[in-house]
Amino acid sequence: MMRYETIIIGGGITGLATAFSLANKGAGKVVVLERNYLGSGSTFRSAGGIRASFTSKEHIALMKRSIELWGKLASELSIKYARSGYLWLSSTEKGFEKLKAYMKLHNESGVPTRIVEEDFVKQVAPHVDTSRLVGALFDPLAGKASPFDTIYKLYAAARSLGVEFRTEENVEEIITHQSVVQGVRTSNQRLEAENVVVATGAYVHELLKPLSVDPHVEPIPHYAAITEEFGRLFDPLIIDFESGAYAVQTFHGNVIMGVETPEKPYSSLEVSIKFLYKVVKEWSKWLPWLPEVNILRHWPGYYEVTPDHHPVLGPVNKYEGLYVATGFSGHGFMMGPVTGEIIANWILRGDPGIPEARNLTLERFESGKLIQELAVIG
């Protein structure tokens, strides 16, 4: 029987970044198990936005570190990543006042967002129509990365460091004995390990429920659409503050757009023409050329949402050797690098490295210490 130091379940950014972190620290034999193909759960459905402009100290501390790590990944693995900013656009006085209030909160926490003038908007976003602009907020630390490029480069790097990958292999059960993790049973075989990391995103209940562990996660459908490709339209990820809709131009030149639509938790992933209507309507206000351009693809994906919109990250006290990383509530891609580092630290040294991450373990739901976060987008 195969024996590993660590089995990682889930081949998305969370699993791959954890594998890469562990392998970098020389943490023994590691295997990543993915039941479908790498990135297929949520990572490849993500728009790829990255920011630290949150309002809780946990999100800010984690994302500041994650942004440092994104920079490192870009230079070491040449992952397509740009610190091209986030730009919030408001067309109302009330919205502008709120943006100023956010800026104050960010600045007090050391996140350097700033109010910018129309000229600046025109410089960084030449193809955004500013005629209805009342106020704009810019986050220079924020940026974007390509989910495809990130996954395939993390995969190649982890693989060259000795990490084993098994795709199209489903984990059917996490095996425990007297509250100690023993390994997993897959569709093909039994694998033994000291540590098991559950990084299965929106599908985390499937493996934790049989262990009577509640991750407090609800999958909620969100949607995205992508246009054909163009030359430079706008560098930052842009957000319509009034509707929460976002748009980002990919490295390839296409525009990915999203907007919140009311959805019930656990609804299945289906196409939504209501979404397409709403997202085109909202963005046509800022991008007057949008109605004339082609939509290439549209797809659904889950946000796995926790009651306080913060991830569940770290050891599960009930079982020795069991770790969980899920509940990112729409921020799993941007948090990938720091998540990998935190889980590797928990496994190797019994502490997360970043003190704020101690507040993010599953135990917070039992102790009632939920975290407050005000800024959740699209």
Which positions lie near another protein, rule CB under 8 A?
A: 36-40, 44, 148, 152, 155-156, 159, 165, 167-168, 227-228, 252, 261, 271, 273-274, 276-278, 280-281, 284, 290-299
Minimum Å gap between C-beta 280 and another protein is 5
Beta bridge partners of 2: 191
What's at 286, amino acid-wise? W
Q: Which is nearer to another protein, 267 or 317 (CB)?
A: 267
Q: What are phi and psi of 283, to 5 degrees?
A: -75, -20
Q: Judge contact between 311 and 327, C-beta under 8 A.
A: yes
- Token pair in block for residue 52: 């630290």
Minimum Å gap between C-beta 289 and another protein is 9
The CA distance from 294 to 59, in Å, is 36
For the beta carbon of residue 169, count every other beta carbon within 10 angstroms: 19
Could you tell me where the DSSP H helices lie in 209-272?
none
Q: Judge contact between 157 and 319, C-beta under 8 A.
A: no
- Token pair in block for residue 349: 């040294």
Q: Which is nearer to another protein, 109 or 261 (CB)?
A: 261
Q: Which is nearer to another protein, 202 or 360 (CB)?
A: 202
Minimum Å gap between C-beta 295 and another protein is 5
Minimum Å gap between C-beta 12 and another protein is 13
Q: Which is nearer to another protein, 232 or 297 (CB)?
A: 297
> Residue 168's closest CA among 151, 181, 141, 187?
187
Minimum Å gap between C-beta 77 and another protein is 14
> Residue 158's closest CA among 261, 29, 47, 275?
29
Distance from the Cα of residue 330 to its chain's centroid: 6
DSSP 135-161: EEEEETT-EEE-HHHHHHHHHHHHHHT
- Token pair in block for residue 365: 């739901």
Q: Which is nearer to another protein, 152 or 365 (CB)?
A: 152
Minimum Å gap between C-beta 271 and another protein is 5
Q: Which is nearer to another protein, 61 or 145 (CB)?
A: 145
Minimum Å gap between C-beta 180 and another protein is 33
Minimum Å gap between C-beta 74 and another protein is 18
Q: Which is nearer to another protein, 265 or 288 (CB)?
A: 288
The CA distance from 207 to 183, in Å, is 12
Q: Which is nearer to another protein, 151 or 354 (CB)?
A: 151
The CA distance from 30 to 14, in Å, is 14
Those residues with Cβ within 8 angstroms of residue 262's Cβ, 6 or more apart along the chain or in another chain: none
Minimum Å gap between C-beta 246 and another protein is 16
Those residues with Cβ within 8 angstroms of residue 286's Cβ, 6 or more apart along the chain or in another chain: 89, 128, 129, 132, 238, 240
Q: Is 262 helix (H, G, I), strand (E, B) or coil?
A: coil
Q: Which is nearer to another protein, 178 or 294 (CB)?
A: 294
- Token pair in block for residue 344: 């590797």
Q: Which is nearer to another protein, 64 or 144 (CB)?
A: 144
Minimum Å gap between C-beta 109 and another protein is 35
For the chain, how big is the Rg over CA atoms in Å? 21
